[in-house]
Each structure stands twice: as structure tokens, then as C-alpha cells.
Amino acid sequence: MENKTEDLYYLIWTKIRELTTLTATTALCDFEKASLNAFQRVYPSINLTCCFFHLSQCIWRSIQRNGIVTHYNNDDNIRNRLKMFGALAFCPVNDVVRYFEIIEDVLREEGSYEILSEFIMYFEDTFIGRFTRQGRVQPRFGISLWNQRDRTINDLPRTNNHIEGWHRAFSSMISCNHPNIFTFLLFLKKEQSLSDNKINGAILNSAKNHRHTLYEIISSQIKATIENYHQLPPL
């Protein structure tokens, strides 16, 4: 979609609201500010959370942009410290700033702060809020928006990778980047028919959709860590 403005997204979400009865209480999104703001305007009662995979992507792109990939690849300690910034998403919202500051202090003590200073400033401005004399300013994305603690405790997905996987598969099926409306509707009907068959098969077989076993193991480990949060040392 071209011209991805907040007003255009607002029109799209408004039309979706008019055409559907959306009963969701939570939703996942990426870090596209215009779409995010428009969604919150149209669905203010839905609890919106940014995808953890996209948070990890933001962190990795900043690592690349700030020229610290070599340090990440070759220095185990720096790599572990950088991973801690993503792990902040699993702390209680009210503890995130405190643990961010603890990571900063540890990096200063270890002598790594200067190497990572540009990355730290990016993360602070984008996800924490820059510290000023008047206190911390609002970050570009509020902490509650990218925090994954509640979703993990409630066994909700933390990423929208399955949706993006469907998009890739659907695009591959159409085999062209910009189909006309008639071609698009034809393949959309075919996809709907396939989906209906899968749903009916699942109902008849009482089948339960299982996430990949490795994903389940990792999710269980993260959830167990969260549940024991107050018994663990800060770092």
C-alpha cells in the first residue's frame, strides 16, 4: 500500500469496523506508527501489543546500523548484554525502566557502554523514554505496548509470524505482485474454500492446532522464568 498515512489507515480500520463485528480483546501489531495510532483510534478498548519478533528486528537493525555487529558476533559478554534489552519485554511494565538503568550501570562498570552508546540512545528514545531534568519523556513506543509479560502468562502468541507466513503463501499462489481486482478475488475465494475445508476437518477430527514443539518448549521456559521473576537476581 502506498501513502501509508494515519488518516488512510483510519479510513481502512473504520471500514473494517463497519463491515465486521470484531469481538477481540487483544491484538498484535508491528511497529508501524501510523497504522498503530489509527487502530487505537478506531478500537480503543482492544489491548494492543507489538509483535516481539518485530521488536527483535528493531534491535538487530540498530545493532547493524550502529556498527556493532562484529562486537555482537565476537564478544560473548556484549552479545549477552545486548540480548538483555529484548528480554526487558518480559519484565513487569513498572520494572522495565529500573532494569534498563541496571543494564546501563553494568555496561559502564564493564567498560562496554561507549561501544554501545549509540544503540543504547536509540533504544532509550524509542522504547524507554529519554531521561531529562523533568523526568523521562514519552518514548516513541510506550513500554506497555511492547511488553510481552501478560501475553506470555496467558499463553497468547507473542508474534504474528503465522500471519506473515500466510501472506507469503498467498502471494506465491497468485504468482504476481499487483494482480487486478478480478484475479485477486478469484484467488481469495479459492483461499476461503481451502480455509473452510481445514476448519471442517479440524472440527470432525477434534484436531487441536499445536505450535511447533521447539516453540512450545521455549514458551514454557519463558513462562516459568516470568512466574519465578521475584525469586531471581536482577542479572
More confident residue, 177 or 116: 116
Residue, of 19 and 196, whose pLDDT is higher: 19
Predicted local confidence at residue 207, as pLDDT: 47
Kindly list the distances between the CA atom of residue 147 and the CA atoms of 64, 116, 123, 151, 195, in Å, as whole numbers in the listed order. 23, 23, 14, 8, 32
Domain ranges of the chain: 1-50, 52-153
**105 vs 160, more confident:** 105
User: Per-residue pLDDT tens for 193-231?
Assistant: 776 776 666 656 654 555 566 667 778 888 888 888 887
Q: What are phi and psi of 107, to 5 degrees?
A: -65, -35
Q: CB under 8 Å, gap of 24 or more: what pairs does 137-145 form?
A: 140/33, 141/31, 141/33, 141/50, 143/93, 143/96, 143/97, 144/93, 145/36, 145/48, 145/49, 145/50
Strand partners, 50: 29
Global pTM value: 0.76
Mean pLDDT, residues 169-187 taken together: 71
In tens, the pLDDT along 117-167 reads 999 999 999 999 999 999 999 999 999 999 999 999 988 887 755 555 554
- First-to-last C-alpha distance (Å) of the chain: 43
Question: pLDDT tens digits, residue range 45-102?
Answer: 999 999 999 999 999 999 999 999 999 999 999 999 999 999 999 999 999 999 999 9
pLDDT of residue 189: 79
Single-letter residue type at 127: F
| Rounded Cα gap, residues 194 and 88, in angstroms | 40
